[in-house]
Amino acid sequence: MKKIFLKTLAVLSLGFIFGSCEENAIPERTEYVTSGAMIRFSHASQEAPMVNFYLNDNKVSAKAPTLTNRETGLSWNSTLANTIHPATYGYVNVPAGDYTLSVIDTTTIPGTKALRKNVVVSAPVKLDEKLFYTSYLVGKLDNLELLTVKDELPNPDYKVAYIRFVNGMPGAPANFDVVAKRTLPTTETLNLATNVAYKGVTGYMAVAPGTYDLALFLNGSPTAYTTWTSGVIQAGKVYTFYTKGNYTTTPGTINRQLLRER
C-alpha cells in the first residue's frame, strides 16, 4: 500500500500520493509531523464553484493542471462516493499560527481563458503546533461557510478502527443519526451518532474491524435516508463519514462519503 507523504509548504503544488488498496491487511505506519500544523480540505457545497484554498496568499490545495497547463480546482462531486478512500487532497504541513483561510473561485470567465479568482468565502483560522485539521466548504450559495474542525486523531491501535460523523448537509428537515451495521466476520449494530445538527461533528468512536453498512437516518425516522454499503473498515485506521451537498428527498451516493484520516 502506498503511504501518505507529508509535504511542506514549499512543495504544496505537487499534491500528495495516497494508497487505494484498502484490502491490504498489513498495518500502515504513519510518519507524524514533528513541527507545524496539518490541514486538509473538502469541497462539500453543491452550489459553490470549482475552488482552491489559500492560507493568506499561499495556495494550499493542489490539483494537477490540465494538458494545456491550466490551473484547476476542487469540485464538490470530484471524489469517489461509494468506496473507502483517502481524502482527495491530503494534509498540508504548514507553520502553526493565525491565518486567513480563503476559498478562491477557479472557474473560467466565459469567453476568455482567464480564471475568476474572486474570493468565495474567507474566515480566520488558528492552527496549533502538531495538530491536524480538516476544513469543509459547506452551505448554499447565499450562505457559504468554512467549517474547520480539529481532527483529534486517536493514538494508533491496530486492534480497532475509529469513525466519526460530520454533518455538512444544509436544509435537512431533521438532524441525522448514523448506525453502523457490521456484516462480516460477525454481525453487530452500533449507534455511531445521534441527533447531529448541520455543521455538527462527533468524536471518534472505536469499532471492530470488518465489513460495514453505514446507514444515515433523519432523527426519528425508522427508514434509512441513505446507506453507504459493504465497506471494509480496517484496524488501525481512522475515518470520517460525512454528508455533503444540499438536502434532497432522493439522495445519491455523492451525498455521503467516507474519508480516511490515517
Which residue ranges does the chain devote to CATH 2.60.40.1120? 161-260
What are the backbone dihedrals phi and psi of residue 107, each rounded to the nearest 5 degrees, phi first? Answer: -80, 160
Question: Residue 31 pLDDT more than 80?
Answer: no
Question: Residue 14 pLDDT more than 50?
Answer: no
Ranking 33-47, 79-93, 235-249 by mean pLDDT, the lowest is 79-93
The whole-number pLDDT of residue 101 equals 98
Rounded Cα gap, residues 179 and 262, in angstroms = 22
pTM: 0.84
What average pLDDT does range 133-159 have in this prediction?
96
The whole-number pLDDT of residue 81 equals 59
The CATH class, in words, for 161-260 is mainly beta
List strand residue ranges (DSSP E) for 29-184, in order: 37-43, 51-55, 58-59, 84-86, 92-94, 97-105, 119-127, 132-138, 145-150, 161-167, 176-184
Rounded Cα gap, residues 144 and 121, in angstroms = 7
Rounded Cα gap, residues 245 and 139, in angstroms = 8
CA dihedral sign, ordered 189, 80, 247, 252: negative
- In which band, very low, low, confident or very high, does the pLDDT at 231 lie, cut at 50, 70 and 90? confident
Rounded Cα gap, residues 35 and 93, in angstroms = 8
In degrees, rounded to 5, the angle at the alpha carbon of residue 164 between the alpha carbons of residues 229 and 184 is: 35
Question: Residue 19 pLDDT more than 90?
Answer: no
What average pLDDT does range 106-120 have in this prediction?
86
- In which band, very low, low, confident or very high, does the pLDDT at 36 lie, cut at 50, 70 and 90? very high
The whole-number pLDDT of residue 112 equals 84
Evaluate whether 223 touches 244 at the Cβ level (below 8 Å): no
Percent of the chain with pLDDT over 90: 66
The tally of CA atoms less than 13 A away on the side-chain side of residue 192 is 31
The whole-number pLDDT of residue 87 equals 52
